[in-house]
Amino acid sequence: MKLKKIRLVVKNNSFAYQEALKIKTWLEKEKGLGVQWEEQEESSNRERPPFPEELDLVVVLGGDGTLLKAARLYGHQEAPILGVNLGGLGFLTEIGLEELHPLFEKILRGEYQTENRMVLTGQIIRDKEDLPAVPFLNDAVINKGALARIIDIETSIGGQFLTSYRGDGLIVATPTGSTAYNLSAGGPILHPSLKTILITPICPFTLTNRPIILQDDAVIDIRLVSKVSEVWLTFDGQVGYPLKAGDLVRVQKTVKSIHLIKSPFKNYFEILRTKLKWG
User: Which residues have a catalytic role annotated?
Assistant: 64
Distance CA 185, CA 192 (A): 18
- Total Cβ atoms within 10 A of residue 238: 17
Sign of torsion over alpha carbons 108, 272, 120, 226: negative
| Rounded Cα distance, 275 and 63, in Å | 13
For residue 67, which amino acid is it? Answer: L
Q: If DSSP codes are grouped into helix, strand and coil, which group holds residue 108? A: helix
Rounded Cα–Cα distance for residues 140 and 165 (Å):
16
**Cβ(61)–Cβ(18) under 8 Å?**
no
Cα–Cα dist 52/59, whole Å: 17
In Å, how far are 9, 26, 107, 262 from 2, measured between CA atoms? 20, 17, 9, 18
DSSP secondary structure, 64-91, as one string: HHHHHHHHHHHGGGT--EEEEESSS--S
